Structure 1
Amino acid sequence: MNPLALALLIGAAMGGGVFLLVRELFPAGPALGPALERLHQTATAPVSPEGEDKAPVLTRAGDTVAARIRHWPGITIPVKNLNLVGESVGELFGAKLLHFAVGLLLPSLFTLIVAMAGIQLPVVLSGLVGLLTGAAMWFLPDAQLAKRAARARAEATQAIMAYAELAAMERVSSAGAQDTLERPAEVGDGWVFQRIQAALLRARLDRAPAWEALRQISEELDVPAAADIADIVSSAGTDGAAIYATLRSRAESLADEQAASEQARANAGSESLVVPVTLLSMVLLVFFGFPAVARIFSV
């Protein structure tokens, strides 16, 4: 086949695929019943959810894709990880959609380039490789999200450890159970403390105990240490128990857990360097040893 004709065919196929993808992402036309109801009502300005029109196109496309496939078998949405890093479902699925599109188009672009150089590759093979590459890259944002969530969870645990120490100091000054949780939250300015402050404010407005807000933080961020502190302080609020020693003990155990986790990560990082260093040593050994060995066998 003529390379120009092959390039035009691949370009047409890519353009048709992009057109079908964009057409699928656009919402369907309105239902007849609600449309007729709106015709008989007084005309008003359309009201959109706050921030929806200002969201990036990729995020809105991700929301559309998530709404259509979230109930498919095998499709899970890591809600806790998204809450932890402060991202939405639309941002996650927008990134997944972008990765899938890039993986789908890369083999076709490679086929087009080699076709211009006079090398003919089967179009079916390019499409199959594109589907496999796109499917593999679809899961790449999940792995990236899991890594960022793990780092954020470790940071949140460290902040909760400091929060427990501050709560213990507040309790030793004969503060009440409510103040034991509210005053330490006003000290920090990190993102974890900001979330605790917001949760405590909501609890105060709802006239709910402060430890319920801390349990909510534990559920949202998937940090069990926050729920432990809530349980400890709730015993003081309901039974009047002395909790200073318990809070200090929990803070110390959190510090030990963090130290052990940091040591495990350092050991894993050191072990991951074994393979590259070994390969580099083998390459250097071959590079410097091959001339001597070749000279010995040539004698």
Structure 2
Amino acid sequence: MTELTWLIVAGAVVGLGLALMISQLRPAPPDLGTVLERMQAPSGVARPVADGGFLDRLGMPLVGLPGVRIPHQQLALTGRTANRFMATKALCTLIGLAFPPYVQLFVVLFGLHPPLLLSVGGALALAALLWFLPDWTLKGQAEEARTEYLHAISAYLELVAMERAADHGPAESLRRAATVGRSPVFRQFAAAMESAALDRQPPWVGLTALGERLGLTALTDLADIMQVSGTDGASIYTALRARAHNLRSELLSADQARATVESERMVIPGTVLVLLMTVLIAYPAVTEMFGGGGI
């Protein structure tokens, strides 16, 4: 009777979760405060906008949960919204809560009766583990996106330097260099400068806002260099080439460190294989030796 009660409670929790998800399918009216905040955002800040999908509507009420830290910089690097991130965490938690009861149900059908405390503890532990799973996944994706951004910024620095060498102005050099690339990163640069232009701001203001939002120091350094060139008329060709060289050196050092770590990890499987081969080869001889000694 106790197990049946637990299964009923688990089914009710799952049903409540499904009802909440289905209730979010109906498009909600736009939040006026969010719209006004987006319209009054600082120059060059191109925030990820929710597309009104199921996950975005599901995660909207969860964004303001107390005690939950939302990694805004990592989300901005990967182009995901906070609503979608919180919805993913909630769905993972529901899966963790629902999985152990259903496993217990199948176990009971086979005639076994595991302790109720084991199922409850397993559900809570799995739910807690899956709650943090999107954070770990997002961290790895953000690191990859950050590396892609840094490579693009290195190329962008060289392009801006060449535009300055061609005797174009600082603002024109930034815009012309951004039109050369066709990658999403270069389109972000162009969008940030276009947003700044709509507010009648120089393009380096947009790049500064974008760099601060993404946590990319290299991009804010480029904006600072171009701002000095635009206000003081300084020649910054050498400074741009030097910053690009330093950034490439940093990326190369990071790649070498990553390769070293991966090489060290490969030592462990090789050592285990050698140990297994040694045991397999030596075992018959050792068995024969001790067996012969016993006779």
Provide the TM-score with structure 1 as the length reference: 0.84
**Residue 34 (structure 1) aligns with:** none
After TM superposition, list the pairs within 5 Å mapping 1:64-79 onto structure 2: 64-67=61-64, 69=65, 71-72=66-67, 75-79=68-72
**Structure 1 position 249, deviation (Å):** 0.5
- Give the C-alpha shift of residue 61 in structure 1: 2.0
Partner residue, 1:112: 105
Residue identity (%):
36
Cα distance change, pair 257–176 in 1 and its aligned pair in 2 (3 A): same
Deviations 1:189-222 (A, max 9, x none): 1111011111111111111011111111211221
Aligned-residue RMSD, C-alpha:
2.4
Distance 2:71 2:124 in 1: 24
Q: 2:262 aligns with which of 259, 266, 269?
A: 269
Take 1:54 and 1:203, find their aligned partners in 2: how far apart are those partners?
26
- Which of residues 48, 52, 55 in structure 1 aligns to 2:53? 55
Choose 206-215 or 11-20, whichever is displaced more: 11-20
Equivalent residues in 2 for 1:81-92, closer than 5 Å: 81-92=74-85
- Aligned twin of 1:14: 10
* Aligned residue type for 2:79: G
1:91/1:285 CA distance change after superposition, 3 Å: farther
Tell me the residue number matched to 1:98.
91
Instruction: Find the aligned partners of 1:93 and 1:64 in 2 and give their Cα distance.
Output: 9
Distance 2:97 2:281 in 1: 43
Tell me if the contact between 2:73 and 2:215 (Cα under 8 Å) persists in the aligned partners.
Answer: yes
**1:103 deviation in Å?**
1.8
Match of 1:226 in 2: 219
Would you say 1:80 and 2:81 are equivalent positions? no
Deviation at 1:242, TM superposition (A): 0.8
User: Which residue does 1:42 correspond to in 2?
Assistant: none
Unaligned 5+ segments in structure 2 are 36-48
Change (3 A) 1:76 1:209: same
Distance change (3 Å), C-alpha of 1:289 and 1:100 = farther
Q: Which runs of 5+ in 1 are unaligned?
A: 28-45
1:123-161: CA deviation from partner (whole Å, max 9, x where unpaired): 122111110111011101101101000000000000000
Task: Provide closer, same or farther for how the CA distance between residues 62 and 286 of structure 1 changes in structure 2, counting only shifts above 3 A.
Answer: farther
C-alpha spacing 1:118/1:293, structure 2 compared with 1 (3 Å):
farther
Does the CA-based 8 Å contact 2:96-2:123 persist in structure 1? yes
In the alignment, is the contact (CA less than 8 A) between 1:25 and 1:64 conserved in 2? no
- Give the conservation status (yes or no) of the 8 Å contact 2:175–2:193: yes
Superposition map of 1:22-37 within 5 A: 22=18
Aligned length: 273
Secondary structure at the counterpart of residue 63 of structure 2? helix
| Contact 1:10 1:112 (8 Å CA) reproduced | no
Matched, 1:256 2:249: yes
Higher relative contact order (CA 8 A, sep 6+): 2
Could you give the per-residue CA deviations for residues 12-41 of structure 1, whole angstroms, max 9, x where no partner exists?
A: 1221112344566798xxxxxxxxxxxxxx
